[in-house]
Amino acid sequence: MIATIKHNSRNYRIDLSKPLDISIPLVGDKDNVNAWYLTPPKIEPHMEDDFVGKVSEGASTNFNDIWFNPHSHVTHTECLGHITDEFHSINQKMKHFFYLAEVVTVAPEQYGEDFTISEKQLKYALGNKKREALVIRTLPNLIEKKSKNYSNTNPPYLKEEAVHYLVQKGVEHLLVDLPSVDKEKDDGALLAHKAFWNLNGKLRTTATITEFIFVPNTVLDGTYFLDLQVAPIENDASPSRPVLYQIMD
């Protein structure tokens, strides 16, 4: 199915029958992606008295309970409520879901004992392009990203000045294949989060950060339309399913 999207007075055509899903699903066991020192998520039949919510155990339906943390266990999209005293809900902040997006691949550079993404790298990757959404794929891009436990591994992160650059470029939606845009252990500094939402100035209340994506190597760098859908949960973050659509010539 071919759809035409009008964006900034220009018409773009995309094929809705060819979605490129860049989310990581929740699988509910030790092979699930993980971070922030939590145990694996659980997907288990509900049990109450003599009832077991499983057809193979005699129930009429499968009736599972699911336990997980969106920040630790699944592709998720978060709003500024992630770091503010005041409650902000991602379900309330997101009112639009289609965005012109750029996919870029970056090899984090060593910075002391860390690996980081710098302003210089993003300037090179984006050039003069202005995009509502930026999708960052880091190298090496291994399938293990979908099941890795990142706790205590000091993953790569974005430098504060790199995020300031993205804000200046007008990026409203930042998507990364990392557990966080910030350093794992930074004593609560959260420099990249604070820069992206402009915590010390006029708050960017509709801006979002999506973490724990996975962009397959078959998805080439370039311009796409992004469909960014979140589960309707009143929370600072929610599981999400970012889907890319290639723009047709």
Note whether residue 37 is domain-resident: no
| pLDDT score at 108 | 98
Q: Would you give the distance in Å from CA 74 to the centre of its chain?
A: 9
| pLDDT score at 1 | 87
Note whether residue 65 is domain-resident: no
| pLDDT score at 51 | 95
CATH number at residue 97: 3.50.30.50
Note whether residue 171 is domain-resident: yes
| pLDDT score at 7 | 85
Give the position of tokens 């009832």: 51
Helix axes 160-168, 119-126, angle to 10 degrees: 30
Note whether residue 173 is domain-resident: yes
Helix (H, G, I), strand (E, B) or coil at 85: coil
What total number of domains does the chain contain?
Answer: 1
Percent of the chain whose predicted confidence (pLDDT) is above 90: 96
113: buried, middle or exposed (CB in 10 Å: 19+, 13-18, 0-12)?
A: exposed
| pLDDT score at 9 | 84
Note whether residue 166 is domain-resident: yes
Note whether residue 35 is domain-resident: no
Low-confidence ranges of the chain (pLDDT < 50): none
223 lies in which domain range? 2-26+70-248
Q: Any idea what DSSP says for residue 74?
A: S
Helix (H, G, I), strand (E, B) or coil at 133: strand
Note whether residue 153 is domain-resident: yes
Q: Could you tell me which residues are beta bridge partners of residue 67?
A: 42
Note whether residue 107 is domain-resident: yes
Helix (H, G, I), strand (E, B) or coil at 122: helix
Residue 71: in which H helix or E strand, if any? helix 70-73
The answer for residues whose C-beta is within 8 angstroms of residue 239's C-beta and 6 or more apart is 26, 70, 74, 75, 76, 230, 231, 233
